[in-house]
Amino acid sequence: MKTPRIPKLALGAALGAVVSVSLAVFAADLSPVSDFGPSEPGFGGATQVARVKQAGAENRLTAVQSGHNGLMANQAGVANAAVMAQTGTDNWMALSQSGSGNQYGGYQAGTSNRSVTVQSGSGNAATVTQIGSSMSSRVTQLGTNDSVTILQSRNGAGLSVTQTGNGARASVLMK
């Protein structure tokens, strides 16, 4: 598996990316954003949820969860790759990849974090790391060879990055 390109972390966003940062957490139901259908499952007890759908050729997904979390991944197209990992309680991660050669790496630790990433086109790379509580992120990459790296550790923070061009770069560090 090819290792995703990871740009250096920096404050702010690079040319071609629109970054809006808000301390308000996105609504708990991310399904209208991710368009994956039903809302996240309710958590409680020993609930551990993973829904994966793959179509196309040579798509790869590795997912690891511990605690009480949920994830959903939908990969279509050719040679898309994803690594998803979560630990803690009530975290939710959703990924949709279409096109070819898109790469995603996501990690969440803590409680009640939400992350949605949508990649279409080709050669896009996204890395999202959230460590803490009640954080949310939404990444949308619609072009070619776009790249974003997010690291959040500020409890209650929310952010959205949308890249619609080609070769857009963004790095966001929120502490």
Q: What is the DSSP string of 117-147?
A: EEE-SBS-EEEEEEEEES-EEEEEE-SBS-E
Tokens coding 108: 């969440």
Taking the C-alpha atoms of residue 93 and residue 136, their distance in angstroms, rounded to an integer, is 10
Domain assignments of the chain as residue spans, ordered by start: 49-153
The reported pTM is 0.76
- Mean pLDDT of the region 104-109: 97
Residues of the chain with pLDDT > 90: what percent?
Answer: 69
Half-sphere exposure of 164 (CA within 13 A, CB side): 3
Residue 32 above 60 pLDDT?
Answer: no
